[in-house]
A and B are shown apart, each in its own frame.
Chain A
């Protein structure tokens, strides 16, 4: 069975500083994908970044980067230069398998990030 663990229920960061949101995963499948989504208070789910298990380099998307440590089974999200608009719930999610697999994502419980001015 697949499992995603986010150990930080809440995090605080000062505006303009960087913050790391932790995510560890567990799967025996060698092929998997890791995702981060942002959920503001308005409720929508916004895709941020994706890392494939065979990707050689860590994924980056603007101010978001994914610190992928395969041996440790961790996929931490790093947000650089935090902005007030980054305050939201952040979910780590995993898809396992390839080929005939569907996009059944397993989500973590989320981390509520608060950016202080």
Chain B
């Protein structure tokens, strides 16, 4: 059983639309992350989230992106106005602490048309 579940598994949206990707850990974790993988390319770090705030973000994570844990369990990534180049697989990842392995969800494949 995966330690984290992502929904939806696949989302198709039109350019300019907002999307929200969701991540639900099955048990308590302290550290949350979003990564993305453009088709055929390597996995890239987007943002890390700890103690209900962003602790680090990459250059990719611009003003169009935001993250939150609205109810203390779900961890969401919002893209306000999607662009064609946002098409990618988005992975949520979790770890119990800084020294534990990072476990990824099954990913959400986002297609922007």
A interface residues, Cβ below 8 angstroms from B:
35, 37, 42-47, 50, 91, 93, 95, 98, 101-110
Interchain CA distance A87-B89 in the complex, whole Å:
20
Could you count the A-B residue pairs with CB atoms below 8 Å apart for me: how many are there? 59
Determine the distance from Cα of A35 to Cα of B35 in the docked complex, in whole angstroms: 15
A107 adjacent to B31 (CB under 8 Å):
no
Contacts of A37 in B (CB 8 A): 104
Using known A-B contacts A102-B48, A103-B31, determine if residue A47 contacts B98 with beta carbons closer than 8 Å.
Answer: no
- CB of A43 within 8 A of CB of B109, answer yes
Given A45-B107, A102-B31, A103-B33, answer yes or no on A35-B102 (Cβ-Cβ < 8 Å).
yes
Instruction: Classify the secondary structure of B's interface with A.
Output: strand
Let me know if A50 and B101 touch, CB within 8 A.
yes
With a CB–CB cut-off of 8 A, which chain A residues contact B48?
Answer: 102-104
B107 engages A101 (CB within 8 Å): no
- The A interface is mostly helix, strand or loop, or mixed, namely loop
| Interface 0/1 of B7-46, CB less than 8 Å to A | 0000000000000000000000001010100000111110
Chain B residues with CB below 8 A from A105, complex form: 35, 43, 45, 102
- Give residues 74-113 of B contacting A (CB, 8 Å): 89, 91, 93, 95, 98, 101-107, 109
Chain A residues closer than 8 Å to B98, beta-carbon distance: 98, 101-103
The interface size bin for chain B is 20 to 34
Which residues of A are found within 8 Å of B45, using beta-carbon distances?
A: 104-106
Contacting pair A110 B102 (CB below 8 A): no
B42 touches A43 (CB 8 A): no
Residues of B within 8 A of A93 (CB): 43
Known: A35-B101, A45-B104, A45-B107. A107 touches B43 (CB 8 A): yes
Some 23 contacts from A to B, beta carbons below 8 A apart, are A35-B101, A42-B106, A43-B109, A44-B104, A44-B107, A45-B104, A45-B107, A47-B101, A47-B103, A50-B101, A91-B43, A102-B50, A102-B55, A103-B93, A103-B95, A103-B98, A104-B45, A104-B58, A107-B44, A108-B42, A109-B41, A109-B42, A110-B42
